[in-house]
Amino acid sequence: MQLGYELIREQLFFRKELIERLPWLIRLRWIAAGGGLAGCAAVYFFRQTLPPLPLVLVIFVVLMNNLLFKLIWQYVPPFKYQKDLPLTSSHVFNARDVQSFSFFAHVQISTDLLALFLAVYYSGGIYSPLVHFFIFHIILTGILLPPVSCYLYGILVFLVMGSLLLLQQWSVVPIYPIWFHNTLFSNESGLNEIIFRYFTLGTVILVTAFLVTTIKLSLRTKGRELLQLSKALDESNSKHTALYEMVKEMGLCSEPKALMDSATRQAARIMGVKACSIKLMDEQKRTLRFASTYGLSEDYTKSKDSIDIQKSPINRKIIEGSVCAIGKIEERDYFQYPEDIRKEGIASMICLPLRVDKMVLGVFCVYSDAEHFFTESNVQFFELMSDLTAHEIEKLKTQLNRNWFLQKSAHQLRSPMHTVISMLKVLKNGYLGPMNVRQEETVERCKKRMEMLDSLISDLLRLSISRANLSLDALRPVHAQRVLKSLSGLFETQAREKAVEIAFLIDDELPAIPATERLLDDLFSNLISNAIKYTQPGDRVTVSLARSEEDKIRIEVTDTGIGIPDEAFSHLFTEFFRAENAKLYTEAGSGLGLVIVKEILDQLKGTVTVKSRIGEGSTFTCHFPIR
Amino acid sequence: MEGVKDILIIDDDKDLVQSIRIILERCNYGVRVAYNGKQGYDKIEAKPPDLVILDVMMATDTEGFDLAYKLKQLPEYRNIPIIMATSFPQAMAEQGPEKFQHILGESWPVSHFIEKPIDPEELLSVIEKILTERKKEQ
């Protein structure tokens, strides 16, 4: 079925010339008929002996025919439907589609030849200059139709011309005089010249047919090679596109298991096989275990769950770097228990080391239910896929390790500090006996500085984790209004403690935006706590969340606080920067809050603008896209 | 006549344990201490306390949670109230609440969370509240 489709596709590829030439022939025929009429007029003008009426009639018939052809081309379904069809289309062609074009070409060429015969006959037979036009027809036939048709038309012309000459010689049909000759030519010219002209015409026609068909066959061979090459390129292109999609999907995974599941699923799909598996080596490099499988039964994976590398020569070889491509499971003594593999429906497989530089992580296999399924190019392509997968696994592991380190550092840094703050609180609250005023003040200062350090560490870690997580947290639809609402209580308390008025204007009908709750939580918290921090008691903070333009959501945090001096604007989003008036106003502040805001907006593909006047307040406006 | 309430502090930070001990002893609670989950469990087995103050991250990141789940599975210790002292809210803010879904399951093994650094008054009021509730239940 597939082969038949390919053959027809190829045939149609070569018929492309024919399909394009058919309307061209119709256009050309208008010109030829026009030329013929002009010729007749010229002949009439020079008062030649030609019979104008039959020639004009022939041309008229040609014109009528052409009109008919044009209508057929435009309105008869097979041509109408197919003439603009791209050959790369997946439309299933049938043999009739191809045949209808050939038939139409035959009809046109036959009627043209008939018309040309009549024209030749009425303009002097073998002496007519129009006999040269036969060559054009032979060339066209050679190009558009199979070689045998070209030769047959050549022989037909030869035979019909011969018959005409014989009939004229035997006076069965009248002889029409050649142009510019007032007398009948045959008796004067002699038989020898006629025979010479006739055979010259025949030779020219056959040689032309031979040349055209030979060149065409050679072009067709080249065309076939080109078609195969383009098919191979097409396949390779779609495979590489699929590989790109696979790597992209792996890049979005935040868990090694999810990444490997995506790899086995995609590998099986792209390679067009029934199953795929990833086995990873343990720390001691002694055993291999299935880390992810696709298309394998649970019984099979359980029976081979833990493979001792030393006892499995095939796996040992793969770990050492060999590619193992098995065309037929039973062919050689590859396996200890080939019956398990047969039972699973596996007939051939490729197994490769999952390797990053020289470090082997495990074994990557694809399994087919057909024997000798994998070609050499399959193996090479799978090697590429395996290398990319290994790199993605390693990259994710490194990222997770870095995250683990950051989280551990957070705990290690924070624990002693929290203990010190707790102890200071015990001291200050008099659990160890009363303190004098100066002692109490000093303990209070210590506590305050420790709390600032705590907040600096939090900001630093938040920023580092946010940067390290850049590609780990996949964005998904989140309702920003819900995140903001869950925070509003906390900030209302904070504002109340400082006697700052706060108002939340939240649009409940907002669509979800691609984000994570953590990012939005951080973004809103930083903006709002900043606003409260730099606003004096009695002043006001307004937070509004609404839809702005099409596909954008806007959060605007406005305060009537201390404002930002002009010279500070260009440094606002620089690490550890704090404006002079902010430093004077409060000690607390790491100078990282707005950097975090900017990082988050970069991840969400959002923007931030700031408007402020010193002493009057500031407005931070962020926009993020809905899609 | 009501006896002195027995509170067990389980935390690997000896200074913090000492601070909590000072606060609690000042308020006439009986205080026992343990510096890891295993020690803590042994002391619970020896004599179930009225309340446990438990740290989350000790030798492992979830040692405190592991012990809390273990206690909740045992009928004789199931009813001991647990206050978990943790930097958990901060960790949650940094890493995102999604990361804690596996811990924040259906059966929550802890009566109350208290944020580090520990505020003496907050700790005392939480203990008071939990013990009063327990008394009512009994």
CATH code where residue B124 lies: 3.40.50.2300
Q: Which of A542, A567, A570, A571 is nearest to A555 (CA)?
A: A542
Interface residues from chain A to B (CB-CB < 8 Å): 407, 410-411, 414-423, 425-426, 429, 431-432, 454, 458, 461-462, 465, 473, 516-519, 521-522, 525
Please provide residue A275's backbone torsions phi and psi, each rounded to the nearest 5 degrees.
-150, 165
Q: Does the structure show a pLDDT above 50 at B81?
A: yes
Measure the CA–CA gap between A63 and A71, rounded to whole angstroms.
12
Which residue shows structure tokens 């295993």? B38
Residue A186: its pLDDT value, please? 47
Check B23 against A426: CB less than 8 A apart. yes
Q: Which of A122, A95, A112 is nearest to A39 (CA)?
A: A122
Average pLDDT, chain B: 83
Higher pLDDT, residue A410 or A291: A291
Residue A15: its pLDDT value, please? 67
Q: Collapse the DSSP code of A423 into the 3-class scheme (helix H, G, I; strand E, B; otherwise coil) and give the result.
A: helix
Check A458 against B97: CB less than 8 A apart. no
| Section A427-456 average pLDDT | 89
Residue A468: its pLDDT value, please? 66
Residue of A nearest to B92 (CA): A518
CATH H-level superfamily of A475-625? Histidine kinase-like ATPase, C-terminal domain (3.30.565.10)
Calculated CA dihedral for residues A113, A118, A122, A125, nearest 10 degrees? 50
Measure the CA–CA gap between A382 and A364, rounded to whole angstroms.
9
Under the phi-then-psi rule, with left for phi > 0, alpha for psi from -120 to 50, and beta for the rest, what region is A538?
left
Q: Does the structure show a pLDDT above 90 at A542?
A: yes
Beta-strand ranges (E) seen in A374-520 are 476-478, 501-506, 513-515
Q: Does the structure show a pLDDT above 60 at A471?
A: no
C-alpha gyration radius of chain A:
44
In a domain, B43, yes or no: yes
B117 cis-preceded (ω within 30 degrees of 0): yes
Q: Does the structure show a pLDDT above 90 at A541?
A: yes
H-assigned helices in A293-356? 298-303, 313-319, 338-343
Residue type at position A383 = E
| Section A347-361 average pLDDT | 90
Q: Collapse the DSSP code of A623 into the 3-class scheme (helix H, G, I; strand E, B; otherwise coil) and give the result.
A: strand
Out of B15, B93, B97, the one facing A423 most closely (by C-beta) is B15
Residue A181: its pLDDT value, please? 55
Q: How many CB pairs lie under 8 A apart between chains A and B?
A: 81
B132 vs chain A: nearest CA distance in angstroms? 23
In a domain, B1, yes or no: no
**Residues contacting residue A23 through CB under 8 Å, at least 6 positions apart:** A73, A83
Residue-range definition of the domain harbouring residue B26: 6-137
As for how many domains chain B has, the answer is 1
Highest mean pLDDT among A98-107, A431-440, B1-10: A431-440
Q: What is the DSSP string of A199-245?
A: HHHHHHHHHHHHHHHHHHHHHHHHHHHHHHHHHHHHHHHHHHHHHHH
Residue B29: its pLDDT value, please? 95
Handedness of CA B126, B131, B132, B138 (dihedral sign): positive
Out of A423, A458, A519, the one facing B90 most closely (by C-beta) is A458
For B2, which DSSP code?
P
Residue A185: its pLDDT value, please? 46
- Which of A39-48, A102-111, A284-293 has the weakest average pLDDT? A39-48
A402 vs chain B: nearest CA distance in angstroms? 13
Residue A53: its pLDDT value, please? 79
Measure the CA–CA gap between A517 and A547, rounded to whole angstroms.
19
pLDDT band, residue A577 (cuts 50/70/90): confident
Residue of B nearest to A517 (CA): B96
**Residues contacting residue A362 through CB under 8 Å, at least 6 positions apart:** A278, A279, A280, A281, A288, A291, A353, A354
Residue A89: its pLDDT value, please? 42
Check A517 against B90: CB less than 8 A apart. no
Check A421 against B57: CB less than 8 A apart. no
E strand or H helix at A308, and its extent?
strand A306-308
pLDDT band, residue A13 (cuts 50/70/90): low
pLDDT band, residue A178 (cuts 50/70/90): low
Average pLDDT, chain A: 84
B75 vs chain A: nearest CA distance in angstroms? 33
Which of A414, A426, A473 to probe by mutation at the B interface, max B CB count within 10 Å? Answer: A426
Please provide residue A557's backbone torsions phi and psi, each rounded to the nearest 5 degrees.
-115, 115
Residue A465 and residue A406 in contact, taking contact as beta carbons nearer than 8 Å = yes
Highest mean pLDDT among A35-39, A78-82, A548-552, B109-113: A35-39
Residue of A nearest to B88 (CA): A411
Out of B87, B97, B117, the one facing A425 most closely (by C-beta) is B117
The pLDDT tens digits of the residues spanning A394-422 come to: 998 888 888 778 777 877 888 888 899 99
Q: Which of A360, A357, A366, A344 is nearest to A246 (CA)?
A: A366
Which of B88, B100, B116 to probe by mutation at the A interface, max A CB count within 10 Å? Answer: B116
The pLDDT tens digits of the residues spanning A193-216 come to: 888 889 999 999 999 999 999 998
Please provide residue A94's backbone torsions phi and psi, each rounded to the nearest 5 degrees.
-125, 165
Residue A3: its pLDDT value, please? 47
pLDDT band, residue A184 (cuts 50/70/90): very low
Residue A98 and residue A8 in contact, taking contact as beta carbons nearer than 8 Å = yes
Measure the CA–CA gap between A585 and A614, rounded to whole angstroms.
13
Residue A127: its pLDDT value, please? 83
Q: Which CATH number fits domain A256-397: 2.30.30.100, 3.40.228.10, 3.40.50.2300, 3.30.450.40?
A: 3.30.450.40
**Residues contacting residue A32 through CB under 8 Å, at least 6 positions apart:** A62
Check A516 against B20: CB less than 8 A apart. no
In a domain, B100, yes or no: yes
Check A431 against B119: CB less than 8 A apart. no
Measure the CA–CA gap between A350 and A378, rounded to whole angstroms.
9
Show me where the domains of chain A are located: 2-231, 256-397, 475-625
For residue A423, CA distances in Å to A162, A235, A346, A505, B14 come to: 124, 70, 67, 42, 11
Residue A12: its pLDDT value, please? 62
Residue A405: its pLDDT value, please? 81
pLDDT band, residue B108 (cuts 50/70/90): low
Q: Does the structure show a pLDDT above 60 at B105?
A: no
Measure the CA–CA gap between A438 and A434, rounded to whole angstroms.
12
Measure the CA–CA gap between A589 and A95, rounded to whole angstroms.
79
B138 vs chain A: nearest CA distance in angstroms? 32
pLDDT band, residue B94 (cuts 50/70/90): low
pLDDT band, residue A1 (cuts 50/70/90): very low
